[in-house]
Structure 1
Amino acid sequence: MCALVFLAAFESLAVTTVMPGISEALDGASLYALAFSGPLAVGIIGMVIAGQWSDRTGPRGPLLASLTLFVIGLGIAGFATSMEVLVAGRLLHGLGGGAITVSLFVMVARIYPPELHARIFAGFAAAWVVPSLVGPFLGGLVAESLGWPWVFHGVILLVVPAVIMLRPALRRLAADAPGAAPWRLGTVAWAALVAAGVLTVDLTSGTGTPVGWVAAAAALVVVLIALRPLLPAGALRARRGLPAVITLRGFLSGAFVGAQVYLPYLLTDVHHVTPVLAGFGLTFGGLAWALASQIHGRVATRVSDRGVLRLGTSLVLFAIAASTLTSVLEAPPLATVAVWTCAGAGMGLAYPRISTMTLALSTDTDRGFNSSALTIADSIGGAVALAGTGVVFGALTDGPTAFAPFSGVFALATLFALVAAALVRRATVSRRAGHTAAPEPAGAGAEAADGDPGGVTVAA
């Protein structure tokens, strides 16, 4: 499982580092934000399918299917000759990547006892260490020496050994499938509608025309409506307990992803550093994330949920707000890299705690749904933030300085971080370690159009 996390981490960090160069080579600046938000959006479909599939037959089937889509998408992106084709490959790769994440969450719950969950998620974070060290650097080096397509092709070569290492656990899971949860095809349709809405927001909001703005606003309303049956009841209102935990994850993801995607862009386009050196900005953030997660895994039972989440969200908020300030002041690149390390540390504390809180508030029959909801919030938060930052970036491109669009991007990401910090109190009600708010019963308002419950919240 850690090998698969390693794959995802390496691909994410390497591609983020070289995407400015790819965008320039393929004349695709207008699709830059979509190349990141698109995979997050369609990944929601994969998450919903994998969650239901895992609840019904276990995570073995969805994991193998999602790995196949992941590899095919990387292959298409690597052979792309236009930005449109590259985005199409990224969409397919994102569909598989979203399903992989949910499958791994369910595997953790099925294989390991609850007292080990924090350490397993810390192990996942540790799997980011080597990619954080060499991913951005190696991605930039490969792009400069062999060409950017090999950034995608190289990841494919790592899938086979990862699957081989996972075979014993997959065989064990195949013999222990639950087979109790029914399929809810209506939620898959809602997921597709969410993905379509996010993509529409991306494509129409950047036109700068009144018609485009109206279409983007309408698409955003559709996204919010379609999200309801995919999340626990009350998540859109950040109701106390599990719903607020899920919502917190979405805003925290939006803050971090919305800023991180533009960090290498700022370093290469404005500060004119090489892709290799720009990658170090992501390296330090990734190392801080992994180190903080390891610390959290060792002290998880001795620190309250509220204390961990307050510290984590505060660090992310400080880092992004400081990035806004360094951009406004046109500070040297070293200052931006230094403050971004704090963002990685904050994510390393908050993310594993949110994951363990979600599993603690789940049962065997809804663990797949809740894991899917968590990753959906993760993706939709990032996708919506990227859609917004794409609009801000385009609107300020002709601003007074080259730093102006990046200042606007970081300012919008700061707003997401502020909301995340404000949600901590609603996500937790006890200061004792290991205790979270017991959620209220699911309301009738969460019913999907086909009559299936949109989300069942169960207190552990």
Structure 2
Amino acid sequence: MADRRLITLALFVATFLVALDTSVIATAMPTVIGQIGGIHLYAWVFSAYLLTGTVTVPIYGKLADLFGRKPVFLASVALFLVGSMLCGQAQSMEQLIAFRLLQGLGAGGVLPITQTILGDVFPLEERARITGLFSTVWGVSGLLGPAIGGFLTERVSWRWVFYVNFPLCVLSIVLIAMFLHERIQRRRHSIDYLGAVALSAAVALLLVGLQTTDNPLQQALLYVLAAVLVPVFVWQERRAPEPLVPLWLFRRRAIGVSTLGGLLVGFGLYGQSTFLPPFIQGVMGATPTLSGFVLAGSSIGWPIASAVGGRLLLRLGFRGPCVLGGLLLLAGFVLLLFLDAESGLWAPFAISCVLGFGFGFYTVATILAAQTAVGWEHRGVVTSASQFTRNIGGTVGVSIAGAIFTAGVATAASLGINPNELLSPAGRAGLPASELAFLQGLLAGSLRSVYMLFVGVAALATLVAMFLPAGEPREVSEPGLEPAAVPVGAQVAESRE
């Protein structure tokens, strides 16, 4: 039991590091640009991390199934650590971006392997409860990240935003190395190199294409190349002895539905955090600090719902909590349509809480349903598929919503009015009353169009949730669907009690 607690602590620390990384760097970046320059490459500091962190997720999941969770987890945390230290040494924006690529390579393995180890170490009853604990990591990191980043940047140096990862990474590595024990059936494996290259290239081309908004021809070419690689990947997965992503797994209803649900939830999750702040600051006139506090409502609701949902699904099955989560998401995005300039800040805060509850109920049900539907030998793949599709859904969703938003505010530019002034406190103060009212109405209308998109996605997510298997959680597994050609190992992962 002591070993299991120390393993949980190590996984908690690793999850906190990766969750914190996103929010802590944002507050340091203005200072970084001031010292090393490269403002024209600002977005790539985040995009580079997202790119490698997304592309590698399914690869790590498969490697964990083939060679065990322990070596893959240790390698991913070590890569994250090396990338963090190098980021702290960057002397130019180009170097920082290159080192963020390396850091993302490590981060891509931490979250899915953490969830996979939890699935190995804890039975379903305990896992349903502890998932809520791990969900609090995201809430705490969302609240503390900007403050930690600002403090380190102001009081020490922006480089310590990266150096602070060192002791926590070492702690996680030592605890897992000492206390996670696995029994692996050693045998030769056929690594699916072509499948890994095809999937990685397709996703990389898609993500780079989404970032290439200033060159429509180049963007279209990237999309075409990504689309061409998809059938290549499917063809390879159907013929490979040990495919990177065994496609037959998604014929299991729990896995297929959970994966599709994760894609839709990612769409709404990233969209809410991206497109609610402009309304709060631009239309309602709140400060960035108050906007951050409003968004914290989601960070409060999510862990509570995960903890409650984990207990509910043990009694009601996976479908009930998942549908409840979908309905809460639908309600939250519908309520966003009724916000206006006169609304009090309590209104978006309450809506953010509702959305947090929705995300919490939905994600805990889909992740645990997918994990329960397979044994040890495929748990890494299905867990990483959940994380992968959520990242892809979020990236694509923000790009689509961004196009709708940009088209909406383009009217101001055509009239010679700069819409950016509305989001700048100094610029806003200098606007004539007529222009201020016009821009507020224009921004509100553009954002409501985006919220309507999210309403549709939430409705679709709710519909998808209804297809999750009903009944007791342990009835989800559907043995006997493995194709005869698929070698299923007899690996067993254990933690000493």
TM-score category (smaller protein): 0.7 to 0.9
Given candidates 401, 408, 429, the residue that maps to 2:469 is: 429
TM-score, scaled relative to structure 2: 0.75
- One-letter code of the match for 2:20? F
Following the alignment from structure 2 to structure 1, what is the Cα–Cα distance between the partners of residues 246 and 310?
A: 26
Any residues of structure 2 matched to 1:68-147 within 5 Å, and which?
Answer: 68-78=78-88, 85-143=95-153
Residue 306 of structure 1: aligned partner: 319
Alpha-carbon contact 1:197-1:220 (below 8 Å) kept: yes
Shift of 1:341: 1.5
SS at match of 1:429: coil
Q: Is 2:18 the counterpart of 1:8?
A: yes
Following the alignment from structure 1 to structure 2, what is the Cα–Cα distance between the partners of residues 93 and 85?
A: 12
Shift of 1:67: 1.1
Following the alignment from structure 1 to structure 2, what is the Cα–Cα distance between the partners of residues 264 and 315?
A: 20
% identity of equivalent residues: 25
Shift of 1:80: 5.4
Following the alignment from structure 1 to structure 2, what is the Cα–Cα distance between the partners of residues 80 and 263?
A: 33
Alpha-carbon contact 2:327-2:358 (below 8 Å) kept: yes
Given candidates 269, 275, 287, the residue that maps to 2:300 is: 287
Could you list the per-position Cα deviations for residues 312-371 of structure 1 after superposition, in whole angstroms to 9, with x for gaps in the alignment? 122223323433543x66755543333111111111112122111111111222222222
Residue 256 of structure 1: aligned partner: 269
- One-letter code of the match for 2:145? G
Following the alignment from structure 1 to structure 2, what is the Cα–Cα distance between the partners of residues 261 and 443?
A: 42
Shift of 1:286: 1.3
Any residues of structure 2 matched to 1:18-97 within 5 Å, and which?
Answer: 28=39, 32=43, 36=46, 38-78=48-88, 85-97=95-107
- One-letter code of the match for 2:332? A
Residue 433 of structure 2: aligned partner: none
Residue 296 of structure 1: aligned partner: 309
Given candidates 331, 337, 349, the residue that maps to 1:318 is: 331
- One-letter code of the match for 1:429? P
Residues 267, 71 of structure 1: alpha-carbon distance in 2 compared, 3 angstrom cutoff: farther
- One-letter code of the match for 2:164? G
Residue 200 of structure 2: aligned partner: 192
Residues 187, 10 of structure 1: alpha-carbon distance in 2 compared, 3 angstrom cutoff: same
Shift of 1:132: 4.2
Structure 1, 61-70 or 37-46: larger mean CA deviation: 37-46
Shift of 1:120: 3.0
Following the alignment from structure 1 to structure 2, what is the Cα–Cα distance between the partners of residues 392 and 440?
A: 46
SS at match of 1:241: helix
Following the alignment from structure 2 to structure 1, what is the Cα–Cα distance between the partners of residues 360 and 56?
A: 25
- One-letter code of the match for 2:55? I
- One-letter code of the match for 1:391? A
Shift of 1:188: 1.4
Alpha-carbon contact 2:329-2:355 (below 8 Å) kept: yes
Could you list the per-position Cα deviations for residues 164-195 of structure 1 after superposition, in whole angstroms to 9, with x for gaps in the alignment? 3333323x23xx23435542222211232133
Alpha-carbon contact 1:55-1:179 (below 8 Å) kept: no
Residues 235, 441 of structure 1: alpha-carbon distance in 2 compared, 3 angstrom cutoff: closer
Could you list the per-position Cα deviations for residues 285-324 of structure 1 after superposition, in whole angstroms to 9, with x for gaps in the alignment? 1121111112123333112311111111222233234335
5+ unaligned residues in a row in structure 2: which ranges?
1-10, 238-243, 413-438, 489-497
Structure 1, 158-167 or 1-10: larger mean CA deviation: 158-167
Following the alignment from structure 2 to structure 1, what is the Cα–Cα distance between the partners of residues 345 and 34?
A: 21
- One-letter code of the match for 2:360? G
SS at match of 1:362: coil
Alpha-carbon contact 2:258-2:367 (below 8 Å) kept: no
Shift of 1:217: 4.2
Following the alignment from structure 1 to structure 2, what is the Cα–Cα distance between the partners of residues 259 and 161?
A: 34
- One-letter code of the match for 1:363? G
- One-letter code of the match for 2:399? A
Q: Is 2:403 the counterpart of 1:391?
A: yes
Could you list the per-position Cα deviations for residues 408-428 of structure 1 after superposition, in whole angstroms to 9, with x for gaps in the alignment? 5444444433332221123x1
Alpha-carbon contact 1:40-1:380 (below 8 Å) kept: no
Could you list the per-position Cα deviations for residues 389-438 of structure 1 after superposition, in whole angstroms to 9, with x for gaps in the alignment? 34344444534436356445444444433332221123x13255554484
TM-score, scaled relative to structure 1: 0.80
Following the alignment from structure 2 to structure 1, what is the Cα–Cα distance between the partners of residues 230 and 49?
A: 19
Given candidates 132, 140, 161, the residue that maps to 2:171 is: 161
Following the alignment from structure 2 to structure 1, what is the Cα–Cα distance between the partners of residues 249 and 396?
A: 16
Given candidates 168, 177, 184, the residue that maps to 1:177 is: 184
Shift of 1:127: 3.3
Residues 98, 83 of structure 1: alpha-carbon distance in 2 compared, 3 angstrom cutoff: same
Aligned residues: 440
Residues 332, 31 of structure 1: alpha-carbon distance in 2 compared, 3 angstrom cutoff: farther
Any residues of structure 2 matched to 1:271-420 within 5 Å, and which?
Answer: 275-326=288-339, 331=343, 333-400=345-412, 401=439, 403=443, 406-420=447-461
Alpha-carbon contact 1:393-1:406 (below 8 Å) kept: yes
Residue 431 of structure 2: aligned partner: none
Alpha-carbon contact 1:243-1:439 (below 8 Å) kept: no
Residues 81, 422 of structure 1: alpha-carbon distance in 2 compared, 3 angstrom cutoff: farther
Following the alignment from structure 1 to structure 2, what is the Cα–Cα distance between the partners of residues 24 and 413?
A: 36
Shift of 1:10: 2.2
Alpha-carbon contact 1:56-1:178 (below 8 Å) kept: no
Alpha-carbon contact 1:74-1:153 (below 8 Å) kept: yes
Residues 384, 100 of structure 1: alpha-carbon distance in 2 compared, 3 angstrom cutoff: same
Residue 434 of structure 2: aligned partner: none
Alpha-carbon contact 1:37-1:387 (below 8 Å) kept: no
Q: Is 2:221 the counterpart of 1:215?
A: yes
Shift of 1:271: 6.0
From the CA coordinates, give the structure whose radius of gyration is larger. 2
Following the alignment from structure 2 to structure 1, what is the Cα–Cα distance between the partners of residues 463 and 41?
A: 33
5+ unaligned residues in a row in structure 1: which ranges?
445-451, 456-460
- One-letter code of the match for 1:214? A
Residues 282, 394 of structure 1: alpha-carbon distance in 2 compared, 3 angstrom cutoff: same
Shift of 1:60: 1.4
Alpha-carbon contact 1:77-1:152 (below 8 Å) kept: yes
